[in-house]
Amino acid sequence: MKYLKYLNKYFLKYKFHLIGGFIFIITSNIFGVIPPRIVRYAFDLVKDSLAKYKQISDAALQNSHLASISKSLLIFGLLILAMALIKGLFMFLMRQTIVVMSRHIEFDLKNEIYEHYQKLDISFFKRNNTGDLMSRATEDVSKVRMYLGPAVLYTINTSVLFIIVVSTMLSVNPKLTFYVLLPLPVLSFSIFYINKIINKRSQTIQAQLSKLTNIAQENYNGIRVVKTYVQEWPVSKYFTKESEEYKVQSLRLARIQAFFFPLMILLIGLSTILTIYIGGIEVAKGNITAGNIAEFVIYVNMLTWPVASVGWVASLIQQAAASQKRINEFLQTQPLIESNNHKNVQLNGHIVFKNVHFKYQDSGIKAINNLNLEIKAGEKIALVGRTGCGKTTLIDLLLRMYDIDEGELKIDDKPIKDIELESLRTSIAFVPQDVFLFSDTIMNNINFGVKEIDFQQVESSAKAASVHSEVENFKYKYTTMVGERGVTLSGGQKQRISIARALLKKANILILDDSLSAVDANTEKTIFNNLKTNWKNKTVIFVTHRAFALDEFDKIVMIENGTVVARGQHKTLMNNNFVYAELFKEQQYAVS
């Protein structure tokens, strides 16, 4: 239970639901144990009345006596019905408190996990795959909810019912009570053992199902590759093989589940037989009445499911503990990137890297090595260099996706760690190399990150990104759904919508990380001409491999092996820097 202790704060938060549920459970069980007593009185009344009926010789008195018996039985029947209705009402109320409480906690826990995920740094998401993150926030939370709702409900209900019923039975006949309860612990243990096997096999099935889902998802996402390499049959054969394994595991589970209800019915029947047999002996001895046997049979049936549920509840708690352990692992993970200063500031864009070093902790790759660079506010620079030289890492450090290991990184003469994180990222409009669009409308994708929707500004940003005319040609224009990750759009359209999103943000620092790689030279030139109007007063950092566009910038910075090896105007670097000139010639040759 040590992992489930984390949930105690939620029990405290919803204490009134829990207390109310406890009261309703007690009340419903009190009204639940009254009907067996009424049945006992009815049986004994019928037995005694029939004996008296036989002694009456007058026909009129016999009829009157039968009418009296019928009236009494009708009253008993109405009382049982009334008790059942009252019990049903309180059972409804106990579910409306305990089960509703579990749904509230499920809601809170999912939101807590989701909010915590958003606080964690980029390195966390690189270490953990998306499927695992989703599983902990959905499947694991669902299993925890089964502990919070049904497990808590049945634990309290079983405890209360067991105390009330057993104490009532003991007050009638301790010997009969002992024999009646004898098979129930065996029932509970058997169900616990079977449930343990069921859970183990269920986990195997879930893992296999997850594998099948991943296979299908990969094949559908890569359907073009599958078709062009004519791999439909091998892929289908592999899927069939894994499906067969899933079927085998499912049948193994079905076989063990087949023992569940027969075993339960067998042990219930054994308790009933013992009740009638031992009860009959006690009736013969005069220790109890025939009505007590009927009363005990009802008590046995009342106890059967609660006692049987002990094993089921234990299984639920085991699953919940395992799931909560997984949830706790992530909830206890602290973000490496946090705000040291919570004061909002407006940044102008004077950026200074001084003797900066950075190494990726997971891979051990040193991406930035003694880098020195100054970018003045309002300056437009182009970062160039071969793949893997550290350009994107430099941008990530500026966005504070990672913290530098050594040196100084300042913006507007403030150490980046002393700038409130939200203020820092609000001041930067960023177009990533790997463009991401949400499964939403074009309008909402461009407007992402802006509180109020202004269609004129969205349209203006789209025009500046040279995508407006294409959007207008779509059937639903700006309300067109772009599909998952923008699947319905071309690579160039996705890049330009992402640029429009950044322009709409109106931040003082604009970063474009190789964001025109999917557009042709003419479109790139058009976008550059439009950008000149939009970035007049902004600090612009443009990461590119397209050297022929570099005349548009105040300064070109070349990075090699994580450090600045050249800086200056394009013409100057072409004449004075052999490495830059060689890189330019390579790119020009590749373009031609």
**Out of 31-35, 199-203, 405-409, which region has the weakest mean confidence (pLDDT)?**
199-203
On whether both 373 and 228 belong to a single domain, the answer is: no
Q: What mean pLDDT comes out for the span 502-507?
A: 85
What are 513's two structure tokens?
């990380």
What are 550's two structure tokens?
């570099």
Predicted confidence (pLDDT) at residue 451 exceeds the cutoff of 50: yes
On whether both 460 and 322 belong to a single domain, the answer is: no
On whether both 69 and 22 belong to a single domain, the answer is: yes
On whether both 36 and 178 belong to a single domain, the answer is: yes
Neighbours of 351 (CB within 10 A): 22
Predicted confidence (pLDDT) at residue 256 exceeds the cutoff of 90: no
3-state secondary structure of 430: strand
- Write the DSSP string, 361-388: TTT--EEEEEEEEEE-TT-EEEEE--TT
On whether both 205 and 57 belong to a single domain, the answer is: yes
Predicted confidence (pLDDT) at residue 190 exceeds the cutoff of 80: no
3-state secondary structure of 345: coil
pLDDT single digits (tens) 58-77? 667 767 767 877 888 888 88
CB 106 within 8 A of CB 26: no
CB 164 within 8 A of CB 230: no
pLDDT mean across residues, the chain: 83
On whether both 305 and 412 belong to a single domain, the answer is: no
Q: Is 128 exposed, middle or buried (0-12, 13-18, 19+ CB in 10 A)?
A: middle
**Residue 33: its pLDDT value, please?**
86
What are 39's two structure tokens?
């049945």
- Assign 185 a pLDDT band (cuts: 50, 70, 90): confident
Query: Which is higher by pLDDT, 379 or 202?
Result: 379
On whether both 565 and 481 belong to a single domain, the answer is: no
Show which of 331, 352, 380 is a domain's final residue.
Answer: 331
Name the E strands within 235-365.
351-359
Can you give the residue range of the structural domain that contains 318? 4-331
Q: What mean pLDDT comes out for the span 176-200?
A: 77
Show which of 314, 331, 348 is a domain's final residue.
Answer: 331
Predicted confidence (pLDDT) at residue 137 exceeds the cutoff of 60: yes
pLDDT single digits (tens) 403-430? 899 999 999 989 998 888 888 888 888 8
Q: Is the dihedral of CA 387, 389, 395, 397 positive or negative?
A: positive
Q: Is the dihedral of CA 537, 514, 504, 124 positive or negative?
A: negative
**Residue 450: its pLDDT value, please?**
77
What are 119's two structure tokens?
């606080």
Q: What mean pLDDT comes out for the span 368-391?
A: 88
**Residue 104: its pLDDT value, please?**
93
Instruction: Spell 542-558 as b/e; 16+ CB within 10 A means b.
Output: bbbbbbebbeebebbbb
**265/277 Cα distance (integer angstroms):** 18
Predicted confidence (pLDDT) at residue 531 exceeds the cutoff of 80: no
Q: Closest Cα to residue 500, out of 539, 527, 538, 472? A: 527
Name the amino acid, one letter, at 433.
Q
List strands edge to edge, sheet with 428-431: 428-431, 509-513, 539-543, 380-384, 555-560, 563-568
Q: What mean pLDDT comes out for the span 146-161?
A: 88
DSSP secondary-structure letter at 333?
Answer: P
Residue 274 Ramachandran class (φ > 0 left, ψ -120 to 50 alpha, else beta)? alpha
Number of domains in the chain: 3
Alpha carbon 155 to its chain's center: 26
- Assign 398 a pLDDT band (cuts: 50, 70, 90): very high
- Assign 592 a pLDDT band (cuts: 50, 70, 90): very low
**Residue 352: its pLDDT value, please?**
93
Query: Which is higher by pLDDT, 312 or 28?
Result: 28
On whether both 502 and 516 belong to a single domain, the answer is: no
On whether both 483 and 516 belong to a single domain, the answer is: no
**Residue 548: its pLDDT value, please?**
57
pLDDT single digits (tens) 87-101? 999 999 998 999 999
**Out of 146-160, 509-523, 560-574, which region has the weakest mean confidence (pLDDT)?**
509-523
**Residue 588: its pLDDT value, please?**
62
pLDDT single digits (tens) 326-356? 888 888 888 888 877 767 788 888 999 999 9
On whether both 323 and 362 belong to a single domain, the answer is: no
**Residue 93: its pLDDT value, please?**
92
pTM of the model: 0.76
Show which of 447, 478, 506 is a domain's final residue.
Answer: 506
Predicted confidence (pLDDT) at residue 565 exceeds the cutoff of 60: yes
Indicate which CATH number applies to the domain containing 532: 3.40.50.300
Q: Closest Cα to residue 528, out of 465, 459, 470? A: 465
On whether both 478 and 500 belong to a single domain, the answer is: yes
3-state secondary structure of 576: helix
3-state secondary structure of 409: strand
Neighbours of 111 (CB within 10 A): 11
Torsion angle, alpha carbons of 262, 263, 269, 272, to 10: -150
What are 333's two structure tokens?
């993970």
Predicted confidence (pLDDT) at residue 184 exceeds the cutoff of 90: no
Indicate which CATH number applies to the domain containing 304: 1.20.1560.10
- Assign 589 a pLDDT band (cuts: 50, 70, 90): low
What are 506's two structure tokens?
């109106």
Helix axis angle, 59-119 to 152-172, nearest 10°: 150
3-state secondary structure of 354: strand
Q: What mean pLDDT comes out for the span 354-380?
A: 88
On whether both 421 and 564 belong to a single domain, the answer is: yes
**561/387 Cα distance (integer angstroms):** 10
